[in-house]
Amino acid sequence: MRVSGRLRPPGDKSITHRLLIFGSLARGRCLLRGALRSRDTQSKIDVLRLLGVRVEDGSGGVLAVEGKGLRGLAQPTKVLDCGNSGTTARFLIGVLAAYPYKSQITGDESLRARPMRRVTDPLTRMGARFEYERGDGLPVVVHGGELVELDYRLPMASAQVKSALLLAGLVSGVRVRIEEPARSRDHTERLLAALGHAVRVEGGVIDFQPSGEIAEFDAQVAGDFSAASFLIGAATLADEGELILENVGANPTRLGLVSVLQRMGSQIEIRNVGTSVGEPVAEILVRPCQLRGVVVSPDEVPSLIDEIPVLAVLAARAQGETVFEGVGELAFKESDRLSLLASNLRSLGVAAESTRDSLVVTGTDKPLKGFVDTGGDHRLAMAFSVLAASHRSEIELSESDSPRVSYPDFFNHLRQIFSGDE
């Protein structure tokens, strides 16, 4: 099995989500070039339109967002359905907490099972009020209004929670100071700074003082590293050849997978680094290699939380044991990724065990065969498809539709890198 070619992954989902929000809150027409079009980002567009924002598809795949200003979002007359997008739900909660009206946010069955009080508890300290129908999940009614400044220590590293609080501060015009227990993705901080706001980051503390409206902007979205990680995984498991991935976001808070793979024996290279809207952009070279097991520490997890599924299937083909520590948050993603990773690997003949906060995978070179229950989770479907594409694997997925959530062209790209076509 030979891997080859040059390929550009889809636009970064995290940055697309943020630019859609910032574009909606800006004054004027904002252009998003190379933005990701997927089910998740469509959910964001749909709810923004319910808030009175005009979002249009332009020529060449450019998204045009007609901003309403920081205080210009209309009161919704319908429930805001975020589909499967946790980013959409949590960002909206942060924004709408600063608006003097009532709104209701919900999502699909999977999203309704995900915890939201980690966002609403600190926002309650700022002065917003929330009503839950049940437990800790959606639907939630947001009673927003004038907010006060916040000084808050996150109980766990979470880019979504951090971003929701920063957005609340932005819209309400109040200072927000956040202390992180570990470094998480800093896209929101970088974009705020690129758009002219004062953000100071020092020693794990983000100190944000809003400085007025956001001007209209024209932004190029880099390729999504999390999407690229599945192609990186597929190339790593190949027998020969090399793959070059172009225009990939290389934010240091997203590159935990690279450092872990290098410890496992990979010769993966990050080169030709540039920048786009404050974000590093790079070319990534991947060659096949034999991996060895390592320990992934809790401090590393925030920088590779979305890449753990593909890293776990790579560990299934590594020599020895790979231990993932501090990964309990995987149980609260689009599925219970922690238990599904372990059970699916076992169903294929790989030794794997999970606890409340850890995953242990013992690699094997034996043929893998069996059925995988993806739980409707896009990252599990893509990770096990990578394993299925490797030689001596006969793997059947319960579904293959979920990758449309984040990477609509995934299966085409996976075939492409093994066909020799560019």
Could you give the residue numbers annotated as active site? 306
Cα–Cα distance measured from residue 258 to residue 136, given in angstroms and rounded to the nearest whole number: 34
Q: What is the DSSP letter of 8?
A: -
Q: Can you read off the two tokens belonging to residue 156?
A: 């766990």
Reading across the β-sheet that carries 279-286, which strands appear in turn?
Answer: 6-7, 243-249, 279-286, 269-276
3-state SS assignment for residue 231 = helix
Taking alpha carbons only, the member of 327, 378, 381 closest to residue 354 is 327
Q: Could you give phi then psi for residue 340, rounded to 5 degrees? A: -70, -35
Taking alpha carbons only, the member of 171, 46, 18 closest to residue 99 is 171
Contact call for residues 284 and 270 (beta carbons, < 8 A): yes
3-state SS assignment for residue 302 = helix
Q: Can you read off the two tokens belonging to residue 379?
A: 């990252």
From residue 290, how far is each of 22, 285, 318, 360 by CA, in Å? 43, 16, 7, 19
3-state SS assignment for residue 308 = helix
Q: What is the DSSP letter of 99?
A: S
Q: What is the DSSP letter of 284?
A: E
